[in-house]
Structure 1
């Protein structure tokens, strides 16, 4: 069958050339469309569910919120496991689905079940879905840098920077395509804090519940009606939203004998920061920043580029002296990963070219050997795109590992064609015609076609055990095995289709025999005596090999 493929390719050189150009075009398109990330996503297919219940102990949260949620979510289709954590005033449940379940299908199912479980929740508790992101969704982190020379009044406090982050920057970055969430870090969340005086409360006969009810009822607007006067309509409404400390101080808590008791009479109202459990430290100083979380399945490099564009567009709207600066940018790691593959590809092409020149002394055949290398890589990217494998450090490592083997088949075919053409010219005593070159190429390619095909197939099968890995190990190493296999498949197909076509076109005289090659003469002068000694001392050679194997096994397993 391999011989038939080679003969068909030589008889249909135009078709093979067009098919190769089509593969190149599709491969280049796949390079740009394949999602790019730094590392494979090892996290499980999960949906987060969280619920706030302020002021409640972990045990209360566990009994009345976490337990009903976990038991109710376990019966969903495709659920593998449900994990939960109860903290002070907060419940977090993680629903783990099977790997084959679509993420958004899983989120829809969880949301349907949450609507059903809402009736079993305490008053004021509403479970919500977490962002549609994985554990590796953190792609960009930044902080707000303040230049004292340009800032108003010499700078801004952490509370104001946190308000700027929460109410301006965060919402603008969250609108970027591919961003699931922007989480704020550091600073102080602004609060109106009411410090009650127990002595004054007793004197005014006011309870804690009276204060809470009064503040809640005072902090709202009330709708009215429309009044028409002199042909014009006027909208009536009651404005009660708190705009500052003074508004809170004038809230009427209770009336004593017709005299109102204001909040300022029994408490001190001030602006402060919410309780916090962490800070953001930049060069030894507290700062305010944010973390951009990418949506599941998005292209990390493209999302980071869009985030940077958005940051550049909102810089002018920030207060004087404030700028957004990154302290973690995953695109740098992605660029380094891609750069490694580029360097490996260039180095391999240079080394193959030099080796070809030194050993064969046939410059036109250099293209035969080097051209299948980038085409095989493009075929690998095309198959990566079709199978949903992202470009990451593991998948690109598989291609980098395969680069050294991708040219082997082309080198063997080209060298055999050159030798046959050289022998045919010596036998004829003149240059070969185009038809004679075609016939010699067909014979030479058929001679090595089947051995090359099965040799490459054996190398491909060597990675079959990697596909048996499961869990996180499988997610980590499967991309490497797949991409190496894709590249090897592409190289093998090109060796029996494109390479014979290129040989029939580019292989022309003059040819240089090994006897006239200085490098080959030197190598043969060293190799022939060593080969003669090894063949005449076969038992010694086998014994040395066994000893080396035993030492290696002891080092590996001893």
Structure 2
């Protein structure tokens, strides 16, 4: 009873069955490969794109604005109460704040394992609970920090003939509504320009002569410039809600507003002040192309596609050029889509270059078009399958995933080359084609799995890194691992299936010499390379002690130098 021999026989039958499986089901395997390619093409056109991987940074920012309140009072009445209310939120690590005159920024930091959508809701809930304790004039806004918190595209609006206030009105009421309706756009913020307003410039002498104060003017404007309900009216089973519109629309209406009545005579605003239309005071200047401008910053939704937003925005700009006055100029001053577009183009260039280079190398050494075709088909199938996996796992086209695909191009073809070359060699040695495929799978499968899993186990730990490093390298690692495992699967299934169809050797080219004879495979250059390799291997085996010392010296040099 020879147990080791029985184990070897079972292993041989298992590997042989894998080769038989590829031959028996070659039509099914090719069909599944085509289906994966079609699904990958669909995924390629529907995967969102961005510069960086989508990330929920463990930080929620609270912005507070309260006019011109002094910093010390802001700290006591706003910043400190908000800080104290946020500290006991689940997952909160620490709170940092910056307080200035009339403004405050409170940042709540959480652990990386915290659900940031839930954390944002907690922050909003606590903020609403203490709202009554804050000054009535304070306004707050809450943002969850992601890459979507930064603009992806910026558009500048300039004109040689219009003032900055008119440009702001065009940007606010004409351009912003059209930009924000583009699919994937979250919001559009205006930077620069001046909001128009009516300014009441009081004459102090006339004000004193009328025995009035500034507070009375402010009170009169607030009480009269409003829309108020006057009640309800029911008629014919219909209920009508009635309102009075007392809003002031122009300079004449403001000037004619009654402030008070002195000795039976109404005192109007125009009696003690003049009313002008002008821009609100601002303390910054925004320019584009050397002139004053209004900038429109466009923000993407978390799952928005930068490339699609940029494409739709360019179409919208082309339509606007036909409708806006000719003196208005719209131009890009910032565009992240160019970075993404360049990265995507680089990946496709790497794929095409890898295909042609692999085809050239394989045919140059093996002189067989069937082997070349079987080998290079692995690259597009692997890439498209990886894109399908990205779509299913929610990954996007970004610098890390595209970099992973580009880096994997040179690795994914290795398994197919080894398998195809082994089959080609068996056929040259006068082995029947189907039997050559079975024997090749039998011989190559164990080292093929080992050589593929070696880089896989290097990349897998990167997927479990935490912090900002993990966010970036997780996308790279997942892309590389999927591509490598897909190439292994294709090498042991699709490559033998295609080899049964395409790899053929003319009987005249078959070699009658044994496998260890010179010239049993390849052309003149390959035989020379094999001869040089043989000399090097024999020398290394003969002087293995010296080789080990050299390797150890290189290792120590890398550690200490």
Q: TM-score range by the shorter chain?
A: 0.7 to 0.9
Counterpart position of 1:151: none
The alpha-carbon deviation at position 494 of structure 1 amounts to: 0.8
Counterpart position of 1:467: 463
Confirm or deny: 8 A CA contact 1:137 1:295 kept in the other structure.
no
Counterpart position of 1:312: 318
The alpha-carbon deviation at position 224 of structure 1 amounts to: 5.5
**Separation of aligned partners in 1, 2:306 and 2:59:** 19
Change (3 A) 1:114 1:439: same
Deviations 1:251-271 (A, max 9, x none): 322332223333233334333
Counterpart position of 1:362: 368
Deviations 1:286-316 (A, max 9, x none): 2112100111222222223233333334444
* Ranges in structure 1 where 5+ consecutive residues have no aligned partner: 149-154, 229-233, 426-435
**Separation of aligned partners in 2, 1:257 and 1:27:** 85
* Ranges in structure 2 where 5+ consecutive residues have no aligned partner: 1-13, 235-239, 512-518
Confirm or deny: 8 A CA contact 2:18 2:441 kept in the other structure.
no
Change (3 A) 1:275 1:98: farther
Counterpart position of 1:116: 129
Change (3 A) 1:106 1:481: same
Mean alpha-carbon deviation: is it higher for 493-502 or for 215-224? 215-224
Change (3 A) 1:130 1:312: farther
Counterpart position of 1:55: 68
Mapped pair 1:390 → 2:401 = no
Mapped pair 1:22 → 2:35 = yes
Deviations 1:460-509 (A, max 9, x none): 11123323421111112111111011100100111111111112222211
RMSD: 3.0
**Separation of aligned partners in 1, 2:117 and 2:539:** 68
**Separation of aligned partners in 1, 2:524 and 2:250:** 91
Counterpart position of 1:485: 481
**Separation of aligned partners in 2, 1:354 and 1:524:** 19
**Separation of aligned partners in 2, 1:52 and 1:3:** 74
**Separation of aligned partners in 2, 1:75 and 1:178:** 35
**Separation of aligned partners in 2, 1:50 and 1:2:** 65
Counterpart position of 1:428: none
Mapped pair 1:161 → 2:167 = yes
Confirm or deny: 8 A CA contact 1:185 1:279 kept in the other structure.
no
In the TM superposition, 1:58-137 aligns within 5 A as: 58-96=71-109, 104-130=117-143, 134-135=147-148, 137=150
3-state secondary structure, aligned to 2:199: strand
Change (3 A) 1:2 1:474: farther
Counterpart position of 2:5: none
**Separation of aligned partners in 2, 1:530 and 1:98:** 55
**Separation of aligned partners in 2, 1:14 and 1:77:** 56
Selected match of 1:274 from 260, 266, 280: 280
In the TM superposition, 1:125-274 aligns within 5 A as: 125-130=138-143, 134-135=147-148, 137-146=150-159, 148=160, 155-222=161-228, 239-274=245-280
**Separation of aligned partners in 2, 1:161 and 1:226:** 42
Counterpart position of 1:458: 454
Confirm or deny: 8 A CA contact 2:154 2:295 kept in the other structure.
yes
Confirm or deny: 8 A CA contact 2:77 2:134 kept in the other structure.
yes
The alpha-carbon deviation at position 115 of structure 1 amounts to: 3.5
Confirm or deny: 8 A CA contact 1:142 1:290 kept in the other structure.
yes
**Separation of aligned partners in 2, 1:64 and 1:165:** 36
Selected match of 1:446 from 442, 447, 457: 442
Deviations 1:222-258 (A, max 9, x none): 5568999xxxxx9997553222333323332233222
Counterpart position of 1:231: none
Counterpart position of 2:45: 32
Deviations 1:343-398 (A, max 9, x none): 11111111111110111111111121111111111221122122222111111111
3-state secondary structure, aligned to 2:465: coil
In the TM superposition, 1:511-550 aligns within 5 A as: 511=509, 514=519, 517-550=523-556
Confirm or deny: 8 A CA contact 2:201 2:275 kept in the other structure.
yes
The alpha-carbon deviation at position 34 of structure 1 amounts to: 1.8
**Separation of aligned partners in 1, 2:467 and 2:85:** 26
Confirm or deny: 8 A CA contact 2:187 2:298 kept in the other structure.
yes
Counterpart position of 1:9: 22
**Separation of aligned partners in 1, 2:545 and 2:116:** 62
How many residues are paired up?
535
**Separation of aligned partners in 2, 1:345 and 1:306:** 28
